[in-house]
Amino acid sequence: MLVVVNPHRADAAHAGDLVTRELEDEGIEVCKTFDPGSDTPVEAAVVLGGDGTILYAAALTRGTDIPLLGVNLGHVGFLAEAEREDVRHAVQRLVAGDYTVEERNTLEVVVKQPDGSTESGWALNEATVERSNLLRTVELAVEVDGKPVSTFGCDGVVISTATGSTAHAFSAGGPILWPDVDALLFVPLAAHALFARPLVVGPRSWFALEVLERSESEALVVLDGSRSIDVERGGRIEVRRGGHQVKLARMSDAPFTERLVRKFSLPTNGWRGPAQDG
């Protein structure tokens, strides 16, 4: 099994040592580096940190069928399945194969520069189109399925999966999508326009953004907050549902509603539930 640790957290290093001992005591070989081209079979990955560490592990294992078991050592930790106090129990269940696998959709992003060159990338949470010059706005033309919708100046836009709806898109005022909603979410950031509201489209639809020649700033595409692509004026960004999914190991069948209430500490006092017959 692969153990992925946030290198910037001392508690993650300690938890990584604990997980390694637990796995080795069970006769499981542990690796802490991963080569996607290697023929060494990896059954699962234990990821210790916050959602950022899970996003890193998703990029590290991209294109494989390795399920990721996230142990939250950060703040909210929407992608994590276990908390720090549950590490031993979670590892024991992982070793026993007592878990299910949940598949999460991704985004595929293609950037076409004015000179005809292209760059591509992907994201599990979101692709954020931002202004390169923080003192100026970026002027964008927005398309859905190849048809123009609007143009406006803004700080940027967020295009996310349902998974990413509780991340950057949520902080920008977008709606929360349940993980099983097969859709793409579009959220403008401080747009200077009347019609600049969040949009939700189906899995076969796609978004395109053009950085207008008159834009005061060039653009930057940021993928999951960790990888970026520069976009010149006249450049075009196309975002579609990805062909690969990320697999998460799950040990609870509790609905997403419970996770939402717990992670955001939402008040539910006074709830009585459905009326009982009789």
Encoded tokens for 49: 């940190």
CA gap 217, 39 in Å, rounded: 46
Measured from the Cβ of residue 53, the count of other Cβ atoms closer than 10 Å reads 27
DSSP, res 165: G
> Environment class of residue 163 by beta-carbon count within 10 Å: exposed (0-12), middle (13-18) or buried (19+)?
buried
Q: Amino acid identity, residue 52?
A: G
Cα separation, 214 vs 209, in Å, equals 14
51 is a catalytic site residue? yes
> Cα dist. 225→75, 245, 275 in Å?
16, 19, 45
- DSSP letter at 166 equals G
CA atoms within a 13 Å half-sphere pointing along the CA-CB vector of 260:
14
CA distance 112 to 210: 9
From the list 167, 221, 177, the residue with the least C-alpha distance to 202 is: 177
17, 25, 39, 51: the catalytic one is 51
Cβ pair 248, 79 in contact under 8 A: yes
Residues annotated as part of the active site: 51
